[in-house]
Structure 1
Amino acid sequence: MGDLNAKVGREYDGFQGTIGKFGIGVRNDNRRRLLELCGASGLSITNTYFNHKLEHKTTWVSPNGLVQNLIDYVIVNQKWKKSILDTRTFRGCRRVPSDHKLVISKIRIKIQANQEKRRTIKFDVDNLRNERVKQQYEVKVGGKFAALIGMENMDMDSEESWAILSSDTKDVATEVLGYKRINSKPWFSDEAKVLSEEQQRLRVQVDDKQDLEKKQQLKRRRNRKLRELSDRMKHDQNMFWKERATKVAVAMEIGESRAMFAAVRFLRNASQEKVWRGVHGMLDEDGNLVTDEMEKRNLFARYFERLLNVDTTRYWDKKKKKSIADLNEALEVQEEDISAKR
């Protein structure tokens, strides 16, 4: 809000979103500077968006009362433009001697509480497949149950007993099983991790070197590592998705519905993970899954070769014969008409 001595005028073409269609007066030189500033900063001049009487739009009156202008503006960010309900001036609020009118805006803002999303922590129950971990977990949980059974003579209700049982079980699971780690790139192998660390180390050396020749040598070494890392990541992705597809097929054959649906859910939700766009497979002519890049390119080449290389000689020969037959028929009809007229 402020006295900017800029007359935006009535024309708003080319500045939609910055000014409305209810401006007044003739524009001056400061108009261009103000509109460029608002357009570059994503601001809106709210005085020009509401249709009021002229006396409720003008913000400045000359000492003789003959000249009125709109030069005081309430400017807001465009994302808050819908929160401005009205902007207008009031003539009667002149307790302070001034040639400017009071400008008031009505604002409606919906304030929402910042609700923190609580992250659900899951225990890594897959570790129970390891017999050693499973026995360790059973021994420690059994010890906690024995201690709880020994407390039966104490005066405790069911809620207190459940709280102790739940807390002890969680403590044992945290100690023995641990938490399930969320890996956004499950296909990232140890070899790729080593290559990534090496190229990071080379990048630091490139930044620290002052000798241009040595810096160029380090850059070439780092570029080679980056190419190796890219190839390794592509290979790891292809192998990862092949393994997932194989798990689904094997689970279907042996009748393990739980493992099958778990693998299918993972594949269905794969788009929500941070995976590359080129990892999804294709089916070839025999219905087999193809994930290798070169095989997919060859598959596309064969498809378009069949699509575009069609033998069209029969079609054009047939069309040509039909055109000649139509022409002969038309000539015969024309000769019959001529003979009839004679």
Structure 2
Amino acid sequence: MEFRHLGHSGLIVSRLAYGNWLTGPSARDEKTDAACVRAALDAGITTFDTADVYADTRGEESLGRALRGVRREGLEILTKVFAPTGPGRNDLGLSRKHIQESIDGSLRRLGMAYVDVYQAHRFDPSTPLEETMEALADVVHTGRAHYIGVSEWTADQIARGHALARELRIPLVAHQTQYSALWRVPESEVIPACAELGVGQIAWSPLAQGVLTGKYAAAAGRWPEGSRATAENDGSALLAGWLTDEVLDRVGRLRPIAAELGLTTAQLALAWVLHRPGVSAAVIGASRPEQITDNARAAEIRLADDALAAVEEALAPVVTWTAPEPAGPTDPGWRLG
């Protein structure tokens, strides 16, 4: 496993982080979840990403139990706040009330005294940004988090938040964004803005919901049993847009490129993301421990320029460069990664 500073901060993270968005108790048994965490540790992964909303708050509990007994100082734990975690009017958003209550709830579920990075899961237009940043500053100043981050904010929102963070003397060091060889939306504005501010990118869904593993390209519409294409979970809506003949045909063209390099298609796709400027880490999940063991190799791969160019040429016609307007938390189709 390789390691890198998170943005321009002093925090060092593993190049691959283990995320339990779809791997908590709602998606499978906790025994498997714990086995995946152990596989991540065995592969040298020290960075773990979760959120209070995952599996209706049970994701944090599952991760905390799986990490019990592991030296806390040797881990980097990231969690998030924003999405609804209860039925009340104040059980969502980035108000001072929700942030203060949410960090305490996250720490209780994780069984930890602090997290390393506390992330605003989305931007909250209904709360003054000053209120949000002041509440996050209290979280840092009281020792409940060392750093703060944001997720899926626009370049302007990141710049405004970063300016307030500097005034409040707290380190905003990370932006978590959907980013893969198929989804390159952040490249136009967000990644350049973060590079200027010293904010590191944490890429989520670097395998495009599993499409870039190649398993769907070879399935010809007969999706693998137990895959996200056949499961009714939080990933199915995001995945649907990738399961077209044109996309799958193009993804299939990655297979010979990977084979020539002695890699799996998934390893090639992960290595591509890790080669992108500004990316500090990429978040991977798994339904089986051996997937983590296999994919962890990507952190050590050096891709030559011709291999990177071949990936881009294979996928060029189906790359998404511009995102649709984001849905809000009242939209039934809204999902958080």
> TM > 0.5 between the two?
no
TM-score, normalisation: structure 2: 0.19
Q: Determine which structure has the larger helix proportion and give its number.
A: 1
Q: Determine which structure has the larger strand proportion and give its number.
A: 2
If you compute each CA radius of gyration, which structure gives the higher value, 1 or 2? 1
